[in-house]
Structure 1
């Protein structure tokens, strides 16, 4: 074949590719390596947000931006690799919300599931589907998808919490809906904290409730119960070589995760804990409840302190370390593991 023939063939081939693109057709052989990588090629990167650095901005915007203007006064924790979808890790989002005394956050609902892990403050409550659920530091409050919810602060000082939502998954599936309530606040229709009172006992569930919801029916997993569980275990359990003494918040109907898209766990790293390295196909967001330590993610050392937030992307090797000789470190973690497992894609590997 002559040089002229080769050049003509190339031109015709490029023209064919261009014409196919206009028809909405691509050539698989040109993209095979990108579509089927040998290992997960996640766009999320290991990252860390210092609560001490963010708190002044929270207070600044609490002063200059009214709750009516903002509806929700939240700093989004956006992963540098996931800016287009405003995600913190693949499929999940984290933000820090603040509400001041006397403020009422407008009632609304959305298809996305949500929860709040309370960081600081007292005297506020959220109303979910007519139930007022009071907030205390360390509490985990659930807002399953498409349930009306609003927030009110009747205490003193700012109230701040970690917002966790699955809207990046919902948006990726083109399944998001959103609606404002006709009133600023819902009317309370059941006794305060009823869902927790009925279900928090774990093995004793009410027989008169027949609906088995996909999300946990518990409105609040109080920190007092979590501390009681850790105290009961004390030093008797060996725990996980990777995650220490780790407990999962569960749906009493199923014994599984609190929401179909998010698994929520709490873990205690004892003084001197040096975790074994591990990786799995679930993207994870961690919030430091108390203590300080280090998490090594794919060789990157992330130093964290109380109330900080950090990210471990899918298939990144991580290792938790608590170098303190006397103080525990406690981490709250949530991940997209239920989705990954439901699709048969969960993989776990000790390194």
Structure 2
């Protein structure tokens, strides 16, 4: 067809468009501009009691050298190809055994680990050794060298959180293995934590990293400090009607989230708590630190107990419930920082 030829039928015109790698917008308005967000992710719960034996099995069946990292991916039934836990975030259970060392590598994706069980393991991030204890939150910002070593006596297991689904959707991911022996530590152990974990007292001789200004300088947010903060207010503060006594791990330079793409939080839900239903465009992954309860997501009820992991997709109505008798503690992480930066965060109380 030349520039002066005009198709005589709709079918011919549509065929010509397809041949030119073009398409009519009016046929796809509903898909491209939906009336409200419709996530392919679904609400789902991964029971730790059933995952743990499988992690232990692979700890002996598969060497850490063969696996690079022994991680059980928590794959959302609606996001299997490529695998993700929610649209922009990933969750996995990683295990390292006594005497093992996971070699040094780095990647564009931001990451963290929230320690579930064990003692004696160390992660080294850009030359700083950070000891792991249950409940600790350790950061691995994007493109930071990191490795793990375990000199304890029992299996070490943690929750891995990464934003690689977001990074890969932008086709912006890089990965590199350090092909030499692990570099020696460059700073005293846990110096970043010791310098910044004093509330509003920050060191004056340090300034934000100009290359990563939105990355927290704290390597490890220790559980002892987190637990102390919750205990100080949990019996008296009113808290959130949806999330209870909800505290956010923050970047001491900015007061904002610990990573530019991931917000991390800890919540204490008092015994008998019934949260007001709401929804927001951010997707959230929860880990049960202690206690038990249920979260209703749309028409799905997720009954959770200690160490379980579950997710709430963006714009899904949800509410938490805790039975009488004892409190529950939930760690969570979310892509809310991304949505707020892009002006796409919206919430609605129901």
Say whether residues 1:296 and 2:296 are aligned partners.
yes
Correspondence 1:24 to 2:21: yes
For residues 110-146 of structure 1, the C-alpha deviation after alignment (integer angstroms, 9 at most, x for no partner) is: 1110000000000001000000000000000000000
1:51 counterpart = 2:48:
yes
Residues 1:11 and 1:308: Cα distance change in structure 2 (over 3 Å) = farther
- Asked if the contact 2:282–2:334 (Cα under 8 Å) also holds between the matched residues in 1, the reply is yes
Shift in Å, 1:59: 0.5
The normalised TM-score by structure 1 is: 0.95
**What is the CA–CA distance in structure 1 between the aligned matches of 2:51 and 2:208, rounded to whole Å?**
41
Is the Cα contact below 8 Å between 1:286 and 1:332 reproduced in 2? yes
Deviation readout 1:52-86 (Å, 9 max, x if unpaired): 11111100000110000001000000111111121
Structure 2 partner of 1:172: 169
Conservation of the 8 A alpha-carbon contact between 1:199 and 1:205: yes
Distance 2:226 2:214 in 1: 23
Structure-1 residue corresponding to 2:114? 117
Task: Tell me which of 116, 123, 128 is aligned to 2:125.
Answer: 128
Checking the alignment, whether the CA contact within 8 Å between 1:150 and 1:186 is kept in structure 2 is no
> Where does 1:1-351 land on structure 2 (aligned, <5 Å)?
12-212=9-209, 213-323=213-323, 325-351=324-350
Shift of 1:11: 8.9
SS for the counterpart of 1:83 is coil
Partner of 1:209, secondary structure, is coil
* Residues 121, 158 of structure 1: 8 Å contact kept: yes
Residues 291, 184 of structure 1: alpha-carbon distance in 2 compared, 3 angstrom cutoff: farther
Q: 1:203 to 1:74 in 2, by over 3 A?
A: same
8 A contact 1:110–1:176 mirrored in 2? yes
What CA distance in whole angstroms lies between the structure 1 residues aligned with 2:340 and 2:219?
A: 25
CA RMSD of aligned residues (A): 1.3
CA–CA distance in 1 between the matches of 2:137 and 2:305? 20
Q: Distance in 1 between matches of 2:208 and 2:292?
A: 42
Contact 2:234 2:268 in 1 (8 A): no
Offset of residue 13 of structure 1:
2.0
Contact 1:119 1:137 in 2 (8 A): yes
Partner of 1:7: none
User: C-alpha separation between the residues in 2 aligned to 1:186 and 1:282?
Assistant: 38
TM-aligned CA deviation for residue 183 of structure 1: 2.4
Find the counterpart in structure 1 of residue 4 from structure 2: none
CA distance in 1, matches of 2:271, 2:140: 34
Q: Under a length normalisation based on structure 2, what TM-score does the superposition of the two structures give?
A: 0.96
Unaligned runs of 5+ in 1: 1-9
SS of 1:84's partner is coil
Cα pair 1:282 1:314 within 8 Å, conserved: yes
* Whole-angstrom CA distance in 2 between matches of 1:128 and 1:223: 19
